[in-house]
Amino acid sequence: MRKNFQFFVLHLFFAGWISSLSAQSSEHQIKSAIEFESKKMYVNADREYTQAITADPYNDTLYLKRGAVRIKMKRYEEAIEDFQNYLKINPMQAVGYLYLGKAKSMLLDYRNALKDLDQAVRLEPENADLYFFRGVVKMKMENSDGAISDFGQAIQNREEFIAAYLLRARAHAEKEQVLAAIADYSQVIKLDMNQTEAWYNRAALYYQLNYLDDACRDWKIASIQGKKEALKWINQLCQ
């Protein structure tokens, strides 16, 4: 009986010791992976995350991080597998569905990407980034109305979301909703006067409405900010 107890104690000791070593090894590899990723050395980062996963296979964050690196490496199928493994461990996290949707969209699998993003939005309905990326996917599916709605929700959740205003303006312009597009570009300029594309694109819309003075003013500002194409329109139309 005493020998059995001693064996049990030794078993617990060695199990704890091995677990501690694995955790330390995993932590070292995670730090190395993050450093490699910051230097855009993605192959090295992938290797370190893979070793960390071997040491700690139930750490959901490791699958998420490795999957994100694999998207940067354009290894989309493997990234999808990582995000699916993340969601098996942690199925109620919107970020997993967001990254899964991103990876599928890179493979042009927009319909399934949209399903993942729908689930992400259901889990975190206040997250502006989820609506934004879902809007991006809807634009790629040529669903301008759906994209406009999602960009609008993203802006409602984050009032100074410049990227959402820019893409909503483009979606409005594609539907020939010129005044709405101008309003969005104007809001971008109000938030950041150095948004050159907003000046340049708003100029084109003003010209479309025959507001030549306004168009020329915007083209001149875009030109000053380095937009070479604006100079062509200034020379042709603003003399």
Does 89 fall in a domain?
yes
Residue 223 lies in a domain: no
pLDDT confidence bin for 55, thresholds 50/70/90: confident
Question: So what's the pLDDT on residue 24?
Answer: 56
Evaluate whether residue 41 is within a structural domain: yes
Nearest CA to 100 out of 74, 135, 53, 64 is that of 64
SS3 percent helix, strand, coil of the chain, rounded to 5, is 80, 0, 20
**Domain presence at residue 155:** no
Longest Cα–Cα distance of the chain, Å, equals 102
Residue with tokens 């809007």: 135
DSSP E strand boundaries for 4-125: none
Q: What confidence tens digit (pLDDT) does each residue in 75-121 have? A: 999 999 999 999 999 999 999 999 999 999 999 999 999 999 999 99
3-state secondary structure (DSSP) of residue 142: coil
What's the domain range around 96?
Answer: 33-125
What would the two tokens of residue 88 be? 């098996």
- Predicted pLDDT at 26: 65
In this prediction the pTM is: 0.84
Residue 15: pLDDT above 80?
A: no
Q: Is 172 within the bounds of a domain?
A: no
In a domain, 95, yes or no: yes
Please give the DSSP secondary-structure letter assigned to residue 59. Answer: -
Per-residue confidence (pLDDT) for residue 193, from 0 to 100: 97
Is the predicted pLDDT of residue 124 greater than 70, yes or no? yes
Cα separation, 209 vs 213, whole angstroms = 11
Q: What are phi and psi of 238, to 5 degrees?
A: -115, 20
User: What is the predicted pLDDT for the residue at 104?
Assistant: 98
Q: How far apart are CA 98 and CA 82, in angstroms?
A: 13
How many structural domains compose the chain?
1
- What is the per-residue pLDDT for 228? 95
Question: Is 103 contained in some domain?
Answer: yes
Tokens of 120: 């992400």
> Is the pLDDT at 18 greater than 70, yes or no?
no
What is the C-alpha to C-alpha distance for residues 186 and 180, in angstroms, rounded to an integer?
A: 10
User: Would you place residue 38 in the very low, low, confident or very high pLDDT band (cuts 50, 70, 90)?
Assistant: confident
Residue 91 lies in a domain: yes
The answer to whether the beta carbons of residues 167 and 139 sit under 8 Å apart is yes
**pLDDT tier at 172, thresholds 50, 70, 90:** very high
Interval 129-162: pLDDT, tens: 999 999 999 999 999 999 999 999 999 999 999 9
* pLDDT tens readout for residues 194-231: 999 999 999 999 999 999 999 999 999 999 999 999 99
Task: Supply the CATH number for residue 105's domain.
Answer: 1.25.40.10
